[in-house]
Amino acid sequence: MSGGTKWYQLDYADVFEKLKSSRDGLEQSEAEKRLSTDGYNEVEAKKEHSEIYKFLKQFASPLIYILMAAAIITFFLEKYIDTAVILSVVIANSIIGYIQESKAEHALESLSKMLVPEATVIRDGQRKVIPSKELVVGDVVILESGSRIPADIRLFYVKNLRVDESPLTGESVPVEKKTRAIDEDSIPLGDQINLSFAGTFVSEGLGRGVVIATGEDTEIGKISQSIRESEEISTPLVRKIARFGVFLSVAILAISVFVFFIGLLRGFDAVETFLAAVSLAVAAIPEGLPATITISFAIGIKAMASRNSIIRSLPAVETLGSATVICSDKTGTLTKNQMTVTEIYTATGTTYNVTGSGYSSKGNFILDNETIDPKNDPVLLETLKAGYLCNDASFKDGDVVGDPTEGALMVSALKAGKFYIPRLDIIPFESEKRIMATLNEDSEGNKIIYVKGSPEKIMELSQHKFDGENEIDIDVNALSEIKKSSEEMATQGLRVIGMAYMKVENDRERIDYSDLDNLVFLGLQGIIDPPREEVKESINKCKTAGIRVIMITGDHTLTAHSIARQLGIETEKAVAGSNIDDMTDEQLKDTLKSVSVFARTSPEHKSRIVKLLKSEGDIVAVTGDGINDAPALKNADIGISMGASGTEVAREASDMVLVDDNFASIVAAVEEGRDVYNKIQKLIIWMLPTNGGQALTVVSAIILGITLPLLPLHILWINTITTIGLGVTISAEPRAKGLLDNPPRPTEEPLLTQFIKKRIGFVSILMVSAAFFLFTLEMFSSNELPAARTTALNTIVFIQISYLFNIKSLHGYVFDELFSNKYMLIGIGGVIGLQMLLTYHPFMNLIFDTAPIGLYNWSWIITVAIVVFFIIELEKYVYRWIEKRNT
């Protein structure tokens, strides 16, 4: 019914006519008719996948497909032990992935909770309370202080109505609502002051409005639609692992087929040759890689939790470490979301800076870089007193109850001491009058009116100013100076409130607006939502780490630009959302190259900026706390929501939640994310040479026409126990130093860099050479195949152990940190114990076709493992020497 109408442009009489409604609301029969046509005032929730689906999803990997095929083939070949071991490995990996990775998405359910259960309406000319889901377009809704707005509404009556729209628009203070039509073509939600939106809160006052949109047509409904249409975001590492898995699968199948035909050409038995090809496939597949990466993510999640960052999606751990841009909301993220007086101008022409922030009464008054006692300045003291007494806010449990601006004025006064003068009467703040006044009586029975309001209105009503002793007339020059100071504060992003007073006769008991025509000007207080103290340092760290910070907020342009300057966010200027609407995608891309502050933005603007940044190859993290942030949080590579002040909608749409709402915690999380990637890289560079060595062993044996040194069961045993006992311990390595001293790795950087490929090839050759050498030595010595295979098997395992020490540092020497990871030492002890069991226990000998070996074999195995360790350390030295020489 609402179509594309711009309701804020219409006079409310025209709105009633267009909606076929009136101030007396709809008839009940008409409301029921519209309800049957338009449906309930509800936001659709997204259906979740079943738990079975989530578990089966863990099998969706080309490498797992090959292992499953190998299990089926060995079953039909009656190699049941091989089948059981392969299936055990596959199922174990899938269980680990299912347990560790939570894919639940409840953002839309949370949005539906934003709609209140009941609403007060006028139907049949009478006031009624109905379920909010039964609201229809044309209903007249009654709004009261403390209530949540149940639908999108065009207001036609307001009395001191202020609405907290921060969850939807990012506006840092409640919005004063009016009823007049707005004659502008395109304005952001925050400036549509004659409308109120579903899910926002009435902070004070009364109002009535006619419903213009319900359910999916509301601004919340549009956000829910945007979330439903958001694609599941694949992280850089997940994409790289997927590509790597496909490449590896194709390569393994091709080599296995090649080896099978080579075996047939050499006259080997077809079944044995086929089993050898299966052995090759099993050897080459790093079946433990998905599980160990998942475990690395999980350990990273635990580390991030200790630094106030809760990860909701496993790959997000690594993604944050590769972020190149952080798009941050302002209110409550970069700032405290606690309005604070930072500057005071008095009638004497003196400007004071006020220290401290938030709702703490700790702070000082600074004049010419020196702390002063406000009690020594009567004009400053009276200015503070006016803000304190002409005030309806209060404190409860350290937080402001009431208007945050009034809370800021109370706090600034408390920094000078406590004021208490009983109130006798009040003129509440009215948007038309733009002032508030109270009548107070001091301890001596003197009556005084304190007034606060817009600077323009206070100057209009003031005939005098207070100089500390006397009330003197205000001349043109004085008014000009006050106006200039007010404008200067505004350009700094401050919200300016004027203060005045007027002494009245002692028998006065009541006051009226008409009494306020001879005020004495006191001063101006400049208020801002201050930046968090630690955020500036965090942004500097982001710069060092090569991460750009962009502010996207619903707040005013001047305020946003001022906060950005204070925080060190580099930007050419601040761009308003209305300007974004006029830009093509290419123009906005050009703007993004030099502009890092966007204000008065809508959810669509934020999502558009995120998408364009991603299209340019950036890895984008988005922070936010409101419902308006949910689409951008979903569309980002990683969405970061606020845990304390954020809405449930934002938290459920995000990948990560900041427990302390502290932007600085993001920097700590980035460091953890880079550490996770560093460890995954180490894991890959440690695991793949083992698979490569085992595969080369099988290929070499078939090509050379000799007996296989390792059976498929041996390969699965090695891969399983070393992955669990050794590989997982890499994730417990101490965090590397200097992770934030370098820019993010290039997004196009492959998972297997040239360095990693060379290291994998080099170690694989060392491993296969050592295994073949000792296998052949044992065959010549004893001619016992089980003993020779057991020797080859132990050789590979012990080389893996020695190589595990090598990769504690990919490029540096490790002698000073050999024993820095106690979990690694425990894992090595466990693997050695299992090898002893496999080598000497009769039952294991029977199952795995192994045999006991003597001290002579062990002396060779340990010597070879130690030699390999020193060869790789030498290779590091040569690599660094070449790198240094080339630079």
Q: Could you say which of 38, 329, 529, 555 is catalytic?
A: 329
> Which conformational region is residue 836 in: left (phi greater than 0), alpha (psi within -120 to 50 degrees), or beta?
alpha
What is the DSSP annotation of 289-302?
HHHHHHHHHHHHHH
Are residues 451 and 515 in contact, defined by beta-carbon separation less than 8 angstroms?
Answer: no
Helices (DSSP H) in 505-555: which residue ranges? Answer: 535-544
Contact assessment for residue 274 and residue 64, using Cβ atoms and an 8 Å cutoff: no
Phi, psi torsion values for 834, nearest 5 degrees? -65, -35
What is the β-pairing status of strands 435-441 and 340-346?
unpaired
Question: Contact 247/751 with Cβ under 8 angstroms?
Answer: no
Which one-letter amino acid corresponds to residue 141? V
- What six digits make up the tokens of 600? 């008065």
Distance CA 164, CA 434 (A): 19
Report the alpha-carbon distance of residue 680 to residue 290 in Å, rounded: 11
**Contact assessment for residue 508 and residue 439, using Cβ atoms and an 8 Å cutoff:** yes
Q: Determine the distance from the C-alpha atom of residue 88 to the mean position of all C-alpha atoms in its chain, rounded to a whole number.
A: 37
CB atoms within 10 A of CB 16: 18
CA dihedral (667, 670, 672, 675) positive or negative: negative
Q: Which amino acid is at 464?
A: H
CB 502 within 8 Å of CB 448: yes
Residues present in the chain in total: 887
Contact between residue 435 and residue 429 where contact means Cβ atoms under 8 Å apart: yes
Q: Which residues pair with 642 in a beta bridge?
A: 658
Short-list 148, 160, 34, 158, CA closest to 25: 34
What Cα–Cα distance (Å) separates residue 10 from each residue in 16, 155, 530? 10, 11, 37
373 has catalytic annotation? no
Closest C-alpha to 856, from 745, 755, 777, 798: 777
Active site residues per annotation: 329
